[in-house]
Structure 1
Amino acid sequence: MTIVLTPYWSPDEGIQKLKMEGRAKALAVPGLAPPAFSVKAQLDRTLLQLRSKLSPIEKYSFLAQLKQADVEAFYKLCLENMPEITPIIYTPTVGDACLQYSKNYRHPEGLFISLKDKGKIGNILRNWPLVNEARISVVTDGSRILGLGDLGVNGMPIAVGKLSLYVAGAGIRPSSTLPITLDLGTENSGNLSDPLYLGLRQRRPSGAEYDAFMDEFVTEMRRVYPKVLVQFEDFSTDHAFSYLARFRNSLPLFNDDIQGTGAVVLAGLLSAARLVPIPRNEHRILLFGAGSASVGVAKQLMSFFTLAGMSEEEARRQIWLVDSKGLVYVGREEVADYKMYFARRHYTGLPMKDLTEIVKFVKPTALLGLSTITGAFTPEVIRVMSQNTSRPIIFPLSNPVHLSECTFAEALTHSNGTAIFASGSPFGSEVIGGVRREPGQGNNMYIFPGLGLGAILCRAKSVTDSMVEASALGLAGSLSWDERALELVYPRIERIREISADIAVKVIRAAQRACVDNSTDLKRMNDTRLLEFVKSKMWSP
């Protein structure tokens, strides 16, 4: 017998409509609220209550309860306070929310599909109460959550958080979002021994069994949700690449760790390169860390060079990888297949493991960290980087904050204020030489909401590499004159909806050029009309 949990929301249209209108509006009916009640004052009151919480995880829980009680108030608060709330509902706080998920669990927020559901996955997918409204789904198997490792079903807050950013950042309707966690066990011994752990208490299965489960899941997703765009999130490195390749032409699908991260870093590098007084073809990029995100970034950064007229082979030669065993080169032992494209083909020296020595050898102009190794960019590494170029590009991109390869203050101090900086997690501004400097944050939130919105609106049959590249170019071109004057690498997050709309237009045009769009009416619109159309489709609370 299958037991179906009743979700905390009701599929009944009347109740759902009332919920979407927001409890604050309902209370504004005469007699149901105090005489001086107003929606604005209630939002101010809610913000004060949020700020009274002592820890980030308390704030996360408070916002989760607000979202359950009044979805409109939650998103109004988000839109009016993006810099403050984004780090709470996603990185870095979402990492703690995942670690404590089984302990703090209160109510279902998405679908859980386990290995035990093999053979009936379609039935489980149909249990979602808003099955006909779904347009975007974030799917994780919890096997590589941020830099925290295999968390199993405790990865659900990742899917929930990403979809909240789709709503806040691009105006996707809340009722159109579908978080899914695939429970295929876990290799985390702590989870397996935790009496409160909510997932299957077994190790992950073999490759063949995993593949068969994923084949059924994707087949049923296409059947039950033919209008849904799927984002894969936080799959282990081997599965991230293999499942992207296996399924990207079966349904509209992309992997944010590989493609979204690559796009946001490409955009940041394009912005940073404007501040470095050397030609594009003289840049040398060193990536420290060679997992799925890093190799995905490296592949996307090929465009940094090819857009400037360089050949693919010339572009490849400007990119170096360093993994846990050192510089990646052909002939070195234990180099995974997915890294081989960027393995140095003509290196004949001894294995090189020390990052300082590697930086001295490569002489990179840009150093990118995706290693989750705290403090890997030592003062010496930063000083050597500063000898290679007058404006070293230093991007410690690992999440959450405590896993960052260096801090903003360290990058500025040890480069004598010359570093162009962007990180994966947020850092505060710093004053150096009497000048206040603002850090960039290479947050995927700049990319995936607009990419998803564009793909949904043009009803894309697949998400092509050209669509991902278009999102990066759209972001790189979105900085205002004021932001450029301050040498910002990324625009201010307060403008996220404006940025997402512009990116969506560029993504739609790329889909049309690739002939993967199904909404032919959009082809007849010029860019101005298309931008107006995109904005008209963005939900606002």
Structure 2
Amino acid sequence: MPSTDYEQDTSTGFGPLRIKARGRAVMTNPTTNRGTAFTVEQRRELGIVGLVPTRVTNLENQVRRVYEQYQRTTTMLGRYLHLAGVRDRNEVLFYRLLTSNIEEMLPVIYTPTIGEAIERFSHEFSRPRGVFLSIDQPELMVDSFLNFGLNPDEVDLVVVTDSEGILGIGDQGIGGIQIAIGKLSVYTAAAGVHPRRCIPVVLDVGTDNLGLLSSEMYLGERHARVRGEKYDEFLALFVNTVKDLFPNAMLHWEDFGTTNAHRLLTTYREEICTFNDDIQGTAAVVLAAILAGVDVTGLELDDHRVCVFGAGSAGIGIANLIRDTMLRTGASETEEEAYSRFYAIGINGLYVDDQPELMPFQRPYARARADLADWAVADPNHITLADVIRNARPTILIGTSTRGGAFTRAIVEEIASYCARPIIFPLSNPTSRAEATPADLLTWTDGRALVATGSPFWPVDLDGVRYTIAQANNALIFPGLGLGVATSQATRISDGMIAAAAEALAGMVNAYRQGAPLLPTISALRTVSATVAVAVAQQAATEGLARNPLTDPIQQIYERMWQPVYPEIEAI
């Protein structure tokens, strides 16, 4: 149903819904439909008498009913599809259900279940959501966005993917639209970004996934992934179109391949308000956990040595933000001093300046070959993690390698032998690819390790202490960032704004108590997002990037947060 069938001020979380449609048209739009919760008077005014069961129920009873249906569904994909069906029928009900059970349902509507939904997209396709843009039809781009039905001042967020680097499953072609949809669901559930102020987009540039190309069910373009000049021209057209049509929107890049992720962010970050969650969001939440851990160690951040194992887009993004924080708050006076505290490891071992395969964003972390001359290593051409631990003695170990079990007992015990409170983050997803389990890390260090993970893990009981394991989930950062940007109408997203988000998150925990987590829990997501949003908006104003500097930040952020409750209805 076109948006002309209803009106609502989406710039506030409390606007009434003015409905022009009548009859069954009211029931088929997830924005206007509230099923059995329509009052008798509303049913008469909207022409839906007799179209729903007689009894009027409230939102709480509806939540109970769909939650019971959810619980009867036995597979994670089945639960994902059930929730998607609720969203397609009744948007308020979907988000009320989700926010009431956020810790339980986040892994269903987001990672890890979203990966299976993406893989199954062409087989489970039911109702299209979002904008599908084909590199073979660039002339249709403007019309495609206009057909989505939003005006220039009605869009806060555009989440886009080209599906090349989807989670841990790689190139998924047009199915990547699901990651954009899932991301926006989290923006709304966690931070109250109005669901009607968001556009999910997939850039269909082909796929190198032979399984998809050979499937008769596949719904995307049937050719290999386009690269090079044609790809760049298509991306430039996309960015310019978004900038022209939706000048206030934040452009969120999601799950682009390593080759393009850093390059696109670098190319466009000074031109538009743009953010890459895989690089900047991951970095911010990890920095928050590190800052909380550093407080416990009693050392300054500058006093730590950092080893990044699996230094690709995410790993280098984390290193960059830690480096910038050292430069801003620590004793490091030059970038060279800050870089000297990092040891980046890739598939060919420690990054060294004579390795030709290093990408431009990785090269600043390459160690000079001459500086390693006195290291005791088995193979100077492939310096391993064990070599780095033994020779460099890092105090912070970050895993973004997807190599399950890479942080062995020998490596962890070596760190614990010289570091009283080692900070060890096995961040790779899913659980099977985590570099170590929290239980092993705590056992091998006699409970001294400060641990955060990428996947959720159960608490660990050791020597009478229960250790709650912090999950470095990007959902603790990106929703609040988006809300802060939208409310302040920031023109750019600066490194200072990313750091402010991380510091606000770190400030919400007290990790000194033995066993306490280094990050807030997912159950506190709404409070976390609001706190992050205030910090981001204030930093944007400080840097002169806010078109709408907040005069009463807490109240203005609160008023902007959409609530999953049925709004007042006006039949017009």
Q: Same fold (TM over 0.5)?
A: yes
Does the 8 Å CA contact 2:283/2:318 hold for their aligned counterparts?
Answer: yes
Query: Match for 2:109 among 89, 102, 115?
Result: 89
Equivalent residues in 2 for 1:85-484, closer than 5 Å: 85-132=105-152, 133-306=154-327, 307-311=329-333, 312-345=335-368, 346-348=371-373, 350-479=380-509
Query: Match for 1:500 among 518, 529, 532?
Result: 529
Q: What amino acid sits opposite 2:448 in the alignment?
A: T
Does the 8 Å CA contact 1:91/1:425 hold for their aligned counterparts?
Answer: no
Whole-angstrom CA distance in 2 between matches of 1:10 and 1:407: 49
Once the two structures are overlaid, the 10-residue window that deviates more, 495-504 or 266-275, is 495-504
Whole-angstrom CA distance in 2 between matches of 1:158 and 1:82: 18
CA, structure 1 residues 195+353, in 2 after alignment: closer, same or farther (shift >3 Å)? farther
| 3-state SS of 1:106 partner | coil
Gaps of 5+ in 2: 7-18, 42-49, 565-572
Does the 8 Å CA contact 2:468/2:517 hold for their aligned counterparts?
Answer: yes
Whole-angstrom CA distance in 1 between matches of 2:406 and 2:355: 22
Q: What amino acid sits opposite 2:60 in the alignment?
A: K
Larger radius of gyration: 2
CA, structure 1 residues 73+483, in 2 after alignment: closer, same or farther (shift >3 Å)? farther
Query: Match for 1:487 among 503, 516, 520?
Result: 516
Whole-angstrom CA distance in 2 between matches of 1:104 and 1:9: 25
Q: What amino acid sits opposite 2:294 in the alignment?
A: A
Whole-angstrom CA distance in 1 between matches of 2:315 and 2:185: 25
Whole-angstrom CA distance in 1 between matches of 2:272 and 2:325: 28
> Could you give the per-residue CA deviations for residues 302-326 of structure 1, whole angstroms, max 9, x where no partner exists?
1342322322322211111000010
Whole-angstrom CA distance in 2 between matches of 1:100 and 1:412: 38
Query: Match for 1:69 among 76, 84, 89?
Result: 89
Whole-angstrom CA distance in 1 between matches of 2:413 and 2:32: 55
Does the 8 Å CA contact 1:22/1:73 hold for their aligned counterparts?
Answer: no
Q: What amino acid sits opposite 1:449 in the alignment?
A: P
CA RMSD of aligned residues (A): 2.1
CA, structure 1 residues 28+364, in 2 after alignment: closer, same or farther (shift >3 Å)? farther
| 3-state SS of 2:429 partner | coil
Whole-angstrom CA distance in 2 between matches of 1:173 and 1:484: 37
Whole-angstrom CA distance in 1 between matches of 2:402 and 2:307: 16
Does the 8 Å CA contact 2:165/2:257 hold for their aligned counterparts?
Answer: yes
Q: What amino acid sits opposite 2:97 in the alignment?
A: L
Does the 8 Å CA contact 2:300/2:330 hold for their aligned counterparts?
Answer: no
Does the 8 Å CA contact 1:28/1:38 hold for their aligned counterparts?
Answer: no
Q: What amino acid sits opposite 2:349 in the alignment?
A: G
Q: What amino acid sits opposite 2:533 in the alignment?
A: A
Which residue matches 1:3?
A: none
Does the 8 Å CA contact 2:540/2:546 hold for their aligned counterparts?
Answer: yes
Q: What amino acid sits opposite 1:19 in the alignment?
A: P
Whole-angstrom CA distance in 2 between matches of 1:444 and 1:331: 34
Q: What amino acid sits opposite 2:150 in the alignment?
A: L
| 3-state SS of 1:121 partner | helix
Whole-angstrom CA distance in 1 between matches of 2:562 and 2:402: 36
Runs of 4+ residues deviating >6 angstroms: none
Does the 8 Å CA contact 1:424/1:442 hold for their aligned counterparts?
Answer: yes
Whole-angstrom CA distance in 2 between matches of 1:415 and 1:198: 50
Deviation at 1:354, TM superposition (A): 3.1
Q: What amino acid sits opposite 1:86 in the alignment?
A: L
Once the two structures are overlaid, the 10-residue window that deviates more, 32-41 or 338-347, is 32-41
Q: What amino acid sits opposite 1:347 in the alignment?
A: L
| 3-state SS of 2:466 partner | strand
Relative to the length of structure 2, the TM-score reads 0.87
Deviation at 1:482, TM superposition (A): 8.8
Q: What amino acid sits opposite 1:444 in the alignment?
A: N
Is structure 2 residue 541 aligned with structure 1 residue 512? yes
Which residue matches 2:567?
A: none
> Could you give the per-residue CA deviations for residues 4-27 of structure 1, whole angstroms, max 9, x where no partner exists?
xxxx87663235987335525645
Whole-angstrom CA distance in 2 between matches of 1:392 and 1:34: 63
Which residue matches 1:59?
A: 79
Whole-angstrom CA distance in 1 between matches of 2:185 and 2:418: 41
Whole-angstrom CA distance in 1 between matches of 2:409 and 2:514: 28
Deviation at 1:383, TM superposition (A): 2.1
Higher relative contact order (CA 8 A, sep 6+): 2
Whole-angstrom CA distance in 1 between matches of 2:563 and 2:261: 33
| 3-state SS of 1:197 partner | coil
Does the 8 Å CA contact 1:186/1:192 hold for their aligned counterparts?
Answer: yes
Whole-angstrom CA distance in 2 between matches of 1:409 and 1:28: 53
Does the 8 Å CA contact 2:402/2:434 hold for their aligned counterparts?
Answer: yes
Once the two structures are overlaid, the 10-residue window that deviates more, 329-338 or 154-163, is 329-338
Does the 8 Å CA contact 1:327/1:353 hold for their aligned counterparts?
Answer: yes
Whole-angstrom CA distance in 1 between matches of 2:145 and 2:431: 35
Whole-angstrom CA distance in 2 between matches of 1:218 and 1:484: 47
Whole-angstrom CA distance in 1 between matches of 2:324 and 2:507: 15
Once the two structures are overlaid, the 10-residue window that deviates more, 307-316 or 531-540, is 307-316
Which residue matches 1:5?
A: none
